[in-house]
Amino acid sequence: MTEPRWLSPKELVAWRNLAFVTLILPGRLEEALQCNGLNFFEYSTLAALSDAPERTIQMSSLALLSNGSLSRLSHAATRLEKRGWIRRQTSPADRRVTLATLTNEGYAKLVEVAPAHVESVRQAIFDALTPEQVEQLGEICGLLMENLNPGDPPPWVTTG
């Protein structure tokens, strides 16, 4: 058996800080959304749909973009459909595929809620950082994303 690669004191502090941020941040971001009738996962789902061509995407791709399982997405999609914010339909090109579409009402809700969400992101993260630190954060998170999900960058990452 190999000896564990223990964290150095600086790595341990960095890890504990990162772990704390990943635990506390979702709740902080959720607060601004809950008063608008959404949770963070639902908001992420609507936002991913708004970026898709014709505001439509396969459910399996949407699950990846919103970082949830198909089961979790299906439950969220049911709630969002009941509110009239998304519509699901079978793909005309492949009957095995279900497509999700952001409705005009869903887009309007996203536009309504986005300012509060962005402000909560700004307060929780960017107000505490200098412009140089924002650039460093982007670089560090980019490296972590590549390490965690090699060769499959999210759609907002441009390559080349």
Rg of the chain taking only CA atoms, in angstroms:
18
pLDDT (0 to 100) of residue 160:
44
Angle formed by the axes of helices 104-124 and 40-51, to 10°? Answer: 120
**DSSP code, position 21:** H
What mean pLDDT is reported for the chain?
A: 91
At the topology level of CATH, where does 49-120 sit? Arc Repressor Mutant, subunit A (1.10.10)
Mean per-residue pLDDT, 48-68: 89
For the whole model, what pTM was predicted?
0.84
Mean per-residue pLDDT, 149-158: 70
